[in-house]
Chain A
Amino acid sequence: MQDRDSEIIKLFFERSEDAVSRAGFKYGSYLKSIARRMLRDERDVEETVQDAFLAAWDSIPPNRPDDLGAYLGRLVRNAAIDRAKLNSRKKRGGGEAALVLDEIAELVPGGTEPEEALAGSDLAETINGFLKGLPQRKRRLFVQRYWYFMGEREIAEENLMAPAAVRMQLSRTRRELKAYLAKEGYVYE
């Protein structure tokens, strides 16, 4: 039987190394599935998951996540983004994440950074505000692409859409997000 999150988090707080092994037993497959979407090389996947557990070890305590799965998912996602970016610089296959990074680059102006740019957590709040205003279907497509890093074809199958329609919707949503971020002072048009 799997441990409850509260028991695993307690082990983290006690600085017991069992915390990592039990978290790995419970969430290892889930975390690898996230990393695999973003990275092609299985070694990168393994290392990224290990990086995420290390980051969890370093951050719990002081953090006490309400949802350990989501917390670890976010850590592995961020670790995979860093690795994909590194791979991209080294001209190695960055998987879906490299494509997504290119798409997101549309939102970012070259050069100047806005003085009003806020901290990362505020940016997430701003994006939450944007997502709140989207129709559910459109929001789901966006999150599936940019949170789950699903490929266009996979999203299309999931939502009974044609891949071209997915691409079109995502392109439109990116434009809307760019305008929204500009309105909030993040990006120069």
Chain B
Amino acid sequence: MNNDEILKAIGDIDRSYVDEAKPRGKRRFVRAVSTAAAALILVAGLGIVLPKIIGNTPDDKADRTAYATPDTKGADGSQYGDAKNAPVDPPETFGGMKGTVPGFSISLVTLAEAASRHEFIAAVRINGKADADRYSPVDVTECFAGSLPESILVRFPIAGDVIMANEYNRTVADVVLERGGECIVFLDRMTDGTDRFFAAEIIWHESDGSARTLSIRDIEGSTYSAIITALPGVIRDNPYKAPIE
């Protein structure tokens, strides 16, 4: 068997797989500019429900944002984060385009809530924007089990690390991908060098108004801008200095 035999055999694969992967320029455009930007361009372009969109901007709800605090205890009893900063409001949903165009919205949850609602949580680091072109901007670096058994509990990445694509933690990511983690913990490196992190459920809204929570499998590898533009302004603008060891 040689390589062109394999390639030719791939040419004979089931037609449904070929159709499934068919490049779709229009969908790509919609997805590429999805999130808030897409809502603004498409909906404002039609001149229909702009006020509604403006009313749904992240800043509008900034004061009520539920920061996820790293209040999850490790298996060894160590405590991540500061419980005093635990949010008092219920999770809020931001930036969604329900019933208009497809797009992301983010529902913030605490780590404790995430742990109780999801079997697996993946922690990801959002690298600096400058890294986005060179490295995988959203890398699954660690994962947490909802019940935090010792065998799976892992720690947050150490501050100062820059997780690059070629240092991708495949073992952990494979666990997350296999089991379909649904909630992710972002660790964001601020320009002043501090890190902050928060938990979020990523929800994908279809144009028919239906929505589903994206799994890590869906979100893995998404571009920095696709994720970060979906985040509420308060998350971007108000760093939470996480006590990362």
Contacts and interface: CB of A to CB of B under 8 A. Distances in A.
A40 interface: no
**Dominant SS among interface residues on chain A:** helix
Given A120-B12, A160-B223, A108 B21 contact: no
Given A105-B3, A147-B21, A158-B28, A168 B8 contact: no
Interface string A101-118: 100110110000110010
A124 B10 contact: yes
A143 B4 contact: no
A154 B28 CA distance: 10
Interface in A146-178: 146-148, 150, 154, 156-162, 164-169, 172
Interface size classification for chain B: 35 or more
Name the residue among A100, A127, A148, A160 with the largest chain B CB count within 10 angstroms.
A160
B136 to A, nearest CB: 4
A137 B218 contact: yes
Given A67-B15, A131-B17, A147-B18, A162 B23 contact: no
A136 interface: yes
Given A77-B11, A108-B1, A137-B217, A123 B6 contact: yes
A159 B25 CA distance: 11
A127 B11 CA distance: 10
Contacts of A128: 13-14, 17
B1 A186 contact: yes
B132 A162 contact: yes
B3 A127 contact: no
Contact of B136 (A100, A146, A158, A162): A162
Interface residues of A, number: 54
A166 B134 CA distance: 12
Interface string A76-103: 0110011001000000000000001100
Interface in B6-41: 6-15, 17-18, 20-24, 28, 31-32, 34
A74 B11 contact: yes
Contact of B10 (A146, A168, A172): A146
Closest 6 pairs between A and B when the two form their complex, measured CB to CB: A165-B221, A143-B21, A124-B12, A164-B165, A161-B221, A123-B9
